[in-house]
Amino acid sequence: MSVEDILLEDMDRLQIARPQRDSINRYLDLLKMKHYPSYEHSIRVGDLAGRMAKCLGEGERQAWYVGTLHDVGKSLIRKSLLDKRERFNDSDMDEMKSHPLYSHELLRDVFNFSAEGAVRHHRYQSNSYPVDLPETCQSFSAETLKAIDNCAQIVAIADFYDALKTRNNEKYKEEKEKFSAREILIRAFPAQKDKIEILFDRGILL
């Protein structure tokens, strides 16, 4: 199944209205033009995050939005860095660390919930970033902030899982030789162990 088919099926199932579809497609087009693998990754992460949230009894639609749009900021990162297969050095990492902030800038005032979710998607890993969050796009209730955090956590796991399964780079090679995907995910997100176990047991993660 092509990523375009996955995207269309998700948008139909979630009943995304025409104006929102057009906006989402425009954001995805930025990635598609800049770096096709990041475009495909975004669609897969949105699809998986939605299915994960549904399985966990959380907001499927919100997780799908944040997952689909989480990396739009990568459209502002140079392509040679996005294509790099070798382990990142410190200056590569500094450059890459801007992408959640760029996602936030690009999405704010259009999709505010997704902007807040996207800026948090690398904050649950061991070398978490960005350290400081930008000012929120609008004032959110405590309940909405909790939902944003939940979504961003789900997207963080979906993002890591997709990279683990599809990216052929040095970062994951050694771990994949020693550990199963379930073990690698639990090691990366120990606080989410219970959720990860459920997702593997129910066949959402394989």
- CB closer to Fe ion, 45 vs 196: 45
- Binding test (CB under 5 A) with Fe ion, winner from 159, 185, 188, 189: 159
* Residue of 59, 74, 60, 154 whose CA lies nearest to 107: 74
DSSP readout, 116-135? HHHHTTTSSSTT---SSPPP
- What single-letter DSSP state applies at residue 55? H
- Binding test (CB under 5 A) with Fe ion, winner from 47, 60, 71, 116: 71
- CB closer to Fe ion, 35 vs 195: 35
Please choose, out of 23-31, 146-154, 155-163, 184-192, the segment that lies near Fe ion by the rule CB under 5 A. 155-163
- CB closer to Fe ion, 57 vs 103: 103
CB of 141 to Fe ion, least distance (A): 26
Please choose, out of 49-57, 63-71, 86-94, 188-196, the segment that lies near Fe ion by the rule CB under 5 A. 63-71
d(CA 75, CA 82): 9
Q: In the window 82-121, what residues touch Fe ion (CB under 5 A)?
A: none
* Residue of 25, 19, 18, 22 whose CA lies nearest to 43: 25
CB 55 within 8 A of CB 83: no
